[in-house]
């Protein structure tokens, strides 16, 4: 090895040792002390209390941190990296200075900052970290003060839906009663149920007044709250599940009671919304499907056919039409022999349907919206808005039927009406 190479090697080694020593010195440098009183306030307002306790004394979900033997650097590193049961928190969520203040409180726990009034049981409990400072909701639902005290206490003591249980050592019964009374007196007033219906987007499928749309009518709801809650929480058919963070149980109860108080949808409208008239006729006088006016089978057979489907008729689930609505439809059909044809009734054999000036109305009258959506945006069948198929292909499918869709003859839907529908679908957004 040349003298030049040896010199370069020695220089590089010295530089490396200097760098390591500098890093070690930096790592060992003490960080400035934090403000313990401020740290207490930051801790109580944080979500950390849910696992580590409002006094940092630990719970079954997280270890005690009061009087911790960890160094400040250990606390910062663990907070940033996280652990197997704890997520990491970047500096954008909690800065180093805040951690220094909280750590100062860990090392020198003070119950209250000097000169400050005693904190309320709500603040001490840390419940506001999830339910909001005013109990109006946050990562957990709003507390509207509708549950009886015994139920409220049971939930706090046993935990529920990701919320840990709080024992007597964490929240005393006296504090729990204070919190309950405070919620009753100060929590936000529940939303108007009709506003809540609109805000949650339920009206987008079930109609602005719950009279039905691409989803079934719910006005005059007849099934119990437990069933309603299960459907909302788990979803059904094409309806997504809604969690506590989206709509709380108190709000759900409010919606259920509001729906039960609404006037049920008239069976004629229910018939049209379900799309039954597309095959059986607007007044159940028959079309591509058999006439049912005055000729409906016994209810049990009628229900079985609707639920299981038959021949080219698709099955309809409870999410699409409830048993209570089925019963009303059946009663209406049994009295159907007395019904008089109304405007828009299907043409009799040999008479082609006249084209309607409003293609959207024709779409509804033909019952197409029941499967393809009221605006042709799709539902149980594919979306057809912005249709790219040629007219010849569109006509062939309509006339011959496809995959559970019945065929529509020229007697049922005239050629000019079909052309109007095709043009409307091509132009639909």
Residues 13 and 138 in one domain: no
The secondary structure of the chain in percent helix, strand, coil, rounded to multiples of 5, reads 45, 0, 50
Give domain status of residue 376, yes or no: yes
Give domain status of residue 343, yes or no: no
Are 368 and 391 in contact by the 8 Å Cβ rule? The answer is no
- Specify the CATH number for the domain of residue 277: 1.10.760.10
List the beta bridge partners of residue 86. 83
Residues 304 and 323 in one domain: yes
Residue ending a domain, choose from 147, 166, 186: 186
Alpha-carbon distance 276 to 70, whole Å? 70
Alpha-carbon distance 199 to 188, whole Å? 17
Are 341 and 289 in contact by the 8 Å Cβ rule? The answer is no
pLDDT score recorded for residue 10: 39
Residues 371 and 245 in one domain: no
Give domain status of residue 315, yes or no: yes
DSSP 267-304: HHHHHHHTTTHHHH-TTSS-SSS---TTT---HHHHHH
How far is CA 52 from each of CA 61, 83, 84, 86, 194, rounded to the nearest angstrom?
Answer: 7, 14, 15, 11, 40
Give domain status of residue 350, yes or no: no
Ranges of residues in the chain whose predicted pLDDT is under 50: 4-29, 112-117, 337-357
Alpha-carbon distance 117 to 80, whole Å? 33
Residue 19 CA to its chain's centroid (Å): 54
What is the count of structural domains for the chain? Answer: 5
Residues 142 and 57 in one domain: yes
Buried b / exposed e over 335-371, threshold 16 CB at 10 Å, is ebeebeeeeebbeeeeebbebbeebeebbbbbbbbbb
Residue 26 CA to its chain's centroid (Å): 49
pLDDT score recorded for residue 187: 58
pTM of the model: 0.34
Alpha-carbon distance 119 to 127, whole Å? 13
pLDDT score recorded for residue 342: 39
| Domain containing residue 299 | 267-338
Nearest to 378 by CA among 429, 340, 421: 429
List the beta bridge partners of residue 163. 160
Residues 378 and 252 in one domain: no
Give domain status of residue 346, yes or no: no
Buried b / exposed e over 34-62, threshold 16 CB at 10 Å, is bbbbbbbbbbbebbbbbebbbbbeebeeb
Task: Dig out the tokens for 234 from the structure.
Answer: 């788990």
Residues 173 and 288 in one domain: no
Residues 281 and 248 in one domain: no
Alpha-carbon distance 408 to 404, whole Å? 13
How far is CA 128 from each of CA 59, 123, 141, rounded to the nearest angstrom?
Answer: 18, 7, 11
Helix/strand/coil for 113: coil
Task: Dig out the tokens for 131 from the structure.
Answer: 């339910």
Task: Dig out the tokens for 8 from the structure.
Answer: 């370069």
Residues 25 and 43 in one domain: no
Give domain status of residue 348, yes or no: no
Give domain status of residue 351, yes or no: no
Residues 59 and 197 in one domain: no
Residue ending a domain, choose from 257, 280, 305: 257
Return the residue matching tokens 């040896």: 6
pLDDT score recorded for residue 157: 92
């Amino acid at each position: 090895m040349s003298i030049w190479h040896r010199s370069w090697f020695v220089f590089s080694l010295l530089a490396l040792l200097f760098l390591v020593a500098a890093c070690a010195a930096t790592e060992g440098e003490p960080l400035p002390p934090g403000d313990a009183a401020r740290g207490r306030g930051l801790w109580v307002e944080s979500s950390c209390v849910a696992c580590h306790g409002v006094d940092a004394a630990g719970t079954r979900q997280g270890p005690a941190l009061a009087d911790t033997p960890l160094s400040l650097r250990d606390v910062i590193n663990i907070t940033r990296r996280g652990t197997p049961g704890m997520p990491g928190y970047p500096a954008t969520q909690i800065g180093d200075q805040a951690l220094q203040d909280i750590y100062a409180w860990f090392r020198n726990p003070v119950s209250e900052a000097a000169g400050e009034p005693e904190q309320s049981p709500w603040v001490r409990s840390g419940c506001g970290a999830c339910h909001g400072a005013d109990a109006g909701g946050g990562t957990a639902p709003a507390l509207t003060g509708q549950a009886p005290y015994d139920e409220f206490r049971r939930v706090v003591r046993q935990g529920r839906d990701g919320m840990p249980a709080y024992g007597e050592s964490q929240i005393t019964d006296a504090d729990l009663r204070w919190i309950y009374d405070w919620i009753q007196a100060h929590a936000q007033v529940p939303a108007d149920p009709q506003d809540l219906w609109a805000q949650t987007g339920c009206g987008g499928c079930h109609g602005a007044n719950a009279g039905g749309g691409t989803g079934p009518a719910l006005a005059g709801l007849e099934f119990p709250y437990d069933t309603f809650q299960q459907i909302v929480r788990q979803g059904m058919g094409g309806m997504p599940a809604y969690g506590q963070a989206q709509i709380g149980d108190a709000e759900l109860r409010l919606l259920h009671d509001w729906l039960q108080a609404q006037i049920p949808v008239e069976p004629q409208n229910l018939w049209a919304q379900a799309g039954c008239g597309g095959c059986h006729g607007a007044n159940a006088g028959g079309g591509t499907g058999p006439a049912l006016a005055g000729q409906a089978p016994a209810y049990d057979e009628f229900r079985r056919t609707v639920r299981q489907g038959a021949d080219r008729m698709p099955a309809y689930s409870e999410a699409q039409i409830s048993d209570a609505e089925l019963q009303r439809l059946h009663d209406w059909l049994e009295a159907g022999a007395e019904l008089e044809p109304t405007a828009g009734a299907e043409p009799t054999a040999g008479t082609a349907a006249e084209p309607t000036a409003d293609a959207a109305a024709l779409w509804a009258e033909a019952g197409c919206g029941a499967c393809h959506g009221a605006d042709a945006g799709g539902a149980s069948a594919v979306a057809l808005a912005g249709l790219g198929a040629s007219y010849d292909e569109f006509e062939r499918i309509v006339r011959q039927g496809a995959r559970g869709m019945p065929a529509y003859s020229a007697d049922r839907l005239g050629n000019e009406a079909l052309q109007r529908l095709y043009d409307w679908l091509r132009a639909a957004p």
